[in-house]
Amino acid sequence: MLATRFWNVFVSLLLGAAVFVLFLATSMYNRAGSRGLGEALSSDTQFVSWYLKDDARQRAARLIQFALEPDVAKFLQRSSESEAKVPAEARTKLLAALKKAAAQIPKDAAFDAVFAVDQHGRVVAHLGYEQATGMENFELGGYPVVADALRGYQRDDTLVLDRIYRVVARPVEYDLSQPPAGAIIGARIVDDRFARELSERTGAAIAFYTQGQRVASGAPEGFNSSQLDQIVGDLEDLKSDKDYQEKGRSRVRVIAGMLSVQYSRLQGEAWNLDSGYAVARRPVGVSGPLDFFNQADDKDKEQGHGWLAVLIALAAAGIGLAFTFLEHSRPLAAFHGEAHRFSKGEVDHLQPSRFRGVFRKIASDINDGVDRALAQGGGPRRGPADLQQVLGDLPAEPQMSAFSLPNEAGAPSGPVSSGAVSPPSSQQRGALPSPPARSVPKPPPGPRPGAFGIQEAESVPPEAEEPLSIPASSHITNVQGWAGAGNESEEWRAVFTEFLGLKRQCGENVDGFTFEKFEQTLTKRKDALMKQHGATHVKFSVYVKDGKAALKASPLRN
């Protein structure tokens, strides 16, 4: 499963990197959007301020039509000469002159209110300001914009009366050798109509406020102007904005996460009344990586190369499925098939060599578990399976025993194959002769492993023609009783006890080594040797070879 695990780790790292990049892109996009939004709002604020000043200059030019009207200058002079009371004739004549001049001004440049003020600051006549109707002592001379006009200056300002007014004032000359006879004041109400007109010309969403209340608002198409009502709840916090208090312009502020606003104070008399205007835009930013999908339009999605993303995803999925099939599905199917055969009794054990990886260990553990369960329950053990599987590959020609006896008459001289020992002659039965000593070539290094850690005897070289004697120091034991079989089970148990003790002496591991396994192995070996050599009995003995316990088999015909 190495490739699958590597691929899973790689895909996980790739996914983590993609998530990191998305959050990084979100942060960078929001920061860039916030910076760009601040610049855009500052530009909107400057543009609105410039428009208000330009509008004031243009409207001041419209006041010339009132100032050049003959009756306006004439009757303002008469009113200025009367200190006690404004003459009734002056009011009547001035009102008619104001109406005549107002009719000549285009509708889109018309004033909402026009005032004619004499040198004493008294309003002699007016148009549009219904609140002053019937008031005998209505004055405007206390406002700096009016006072400057009465001294000969042209001014504009923002006044807060019953509402916010944008006003322009210019002097009216009657006798150039004397001070102005009075002044003409033109006023434009700052209402929703004014704000919408300003928004259309500037492209900005604008709201005017005074004394903590929104008094007018306008927004371009696609912008919900009702959102501008949100500024009312934010006006109180402007008192803690140092830039707004000292410079007249606030920093960019975000209201309720849905509106970015910059506030500016109106210059003039309205400054001290906390009057001003706010320009607003929708905040530019995303709340998270997934919000990109909500804000992207069709053109953005076309630029996203969706086909490439799908192709990469399919390729990654295909590679992952291929690794899973090769390293998981196919080995699992093989294990399942073998387990199914095992459950139906077609095989009496699982063959670990058929599997790979963890399935090999599982198969081995299952075999060991079945053996222990049968041993503890007293049930029958597994029958002999395959001799090669238990004892390893058998050679085509039987191996020689570690010792041999003289052949019977007429038989060729030499050692007996496959651990076989030729039956002794009638003169030799009951005792073993001591053949002359001979040198034996050194066998191949190390004994061949048998089942359950049992070592088979090494082969005697084929050139050994003479029978071998059994020296006392050969460590070969349990060789008595060659003449008869005796009780095989007791004999094997004695061999097992001696073999187990010898393995412990040699420092070998004997965990899990039981007599049942030992007996099963001897049975299989005995059957094979008896079939090959026509023997009636097989004698087993133990000895030490290269520091390890080993087992020898001797087939007998008596």
Q: What is the pLDDT of residues 223-273, one digit of tens each?
A: 877 788 888 888 888 888 888 888 888 888 888 777 888 899 888 888 878
Which of 441-455, 476-490, 539-553 comes out lowest in average pLDDT? 441-455
* Nearest in space to 512 (alpha carbons), one of 372, 400, 377, 406: 372
* Nearest in space to 264 (alpha carbons), one of 251, 252, 277, 280: 277
* Nearest in space to 407 (alpha carbons), one of 423, 430, 428: 423
Give the pLDDT score at 460. Answer: 34
Q: What is the CA radius of gyration of the chain?
A: 58
Q: Please, is 170 exposed, middle or buried when counting C-beta atoms within 10 Å of its C-beta (0-12, 13-18, 19+)?
A: buried
Residue 108 clears pLDDT 90, i.e. is over it: no
Mean pLDDT value of segment 427-454: 40
Query: End of a domain among 380, 405, 427?
Result: 380
Q: What is the pLDDT of residues 454-472, one digit of tens each?
A: 444 433 333 333 333 333 3
Residue 149 belongs to a domain: yes
Which of 51-55, 305-309, 440-444 comes out lowest in average pLDDT? 440-444
Give the pLDDT score at 558. Answer: 63
Identify whether the C-beta of residue 80 lies closer than 8 Å to the C-beta of residue 182.
yes
Residues 214 and 320 both lie in one domain: no
Residues 429 and 510 both lie in one domain: yes
Secondary structure, 3-state, 91-117? HHHHHHHHHHHHCCCCHHHCCCEEEEE
Residue 483 clears pLDDT 90, i.e. is over it: no
Residue 440 belongs to a domain: no
Question: Rounded to 5 degrees, what angle do the CA atoms 484, 487, 489 make?
Answer: 130
Residue 54 belongs to a domain: no
Residue 58 belongs to a domain: no
Parent domain of 360: 307-380
Residues 419 and 507 both lie in one domain: yes
Q: How far apart are CA 396 and CA 268, in angstroms?
A: 119
Which amino acid is it at 421?
V
Which of 69-78, 87-96, 256-265, 479-488 comes out lowest in average pLDDT? 479-488
Residue 91 belongs to a domain: yes
% pLDDT > 70, the chain: 77
Residues 97 and 164 both lie in one domain: yes
Identify whether the C-beta of residue 207 lies closer than 8 Å to the C-beta of residue 280.
yes
Query: End of a domain among 145, 161, 189?
Result: 189
Query: End of a domain among 146, 171, 189?
Result: 189
Average confidence score pLDDT of the chain: 75
Residues 352 and 470 both lie in one domain: no
Q: What is the pLDDT of residues 360-397, one digit of tens each?
A: 888 888 888 887 887 776 555 444 444 344 334 444 43
In the block, tokens 């001797």 appear at 554
Residues 85 and 185 both lie in one domain: yes
Mean pLDDT value of segment 479-490: 54
Give the pLDDT score at 83. Answer: 83
Residue 505 clears pLDDT 60, i.e. is over it: yes
Residues 313 and 371 both lie in one domain: yes
Residue 217 belongs to a domain: yes
Number of domain units in the chain: 4
Q: What is the pLDDT of residues 111-160, one digit of tens each?
A: 999 999 999 989 999 998 887 776 777 888 889 999 999 999 999 999 88
Residues 240 and 339 both lie in one domain: no
Residues 480 and 513 both lie in one domain: yes
99: CATH: 3.30.450.20
Q: How far apart are CA 175 and CA 149, in angstroms?
A: 16
Q: What is the pLDDT of residues 14-49, one digit of tens each?
A: 888 888 887 787 778 777 777 777 788 888 888 888
Give the pLDDT score at 368. Answer: 83
Residues 520 and 480 both lie in one domain: yes
Q: How far apart are CA 558 and CA 552, in angstroms?
A: 18
Please enumerate in sequence order all residues whose Cβ is within 8 A of that of 498, keeping only pairs 6 or more positions apart, or say none.
477, 478, 542
Residues 345 and 461 both lie in one domain: no
The residue that leads in pLDDT, 445 or 227, is 227
Identify whether the C-beta of residue 204 lies closer than 8 Å to the C-beta of residue 221.
no
Residues 349 and 407 both lie in one domain: no
Residue 131 belongs to a domain: yes
Which amino acid is it at 498?
E
Residue 483 belongs to a domain: yes
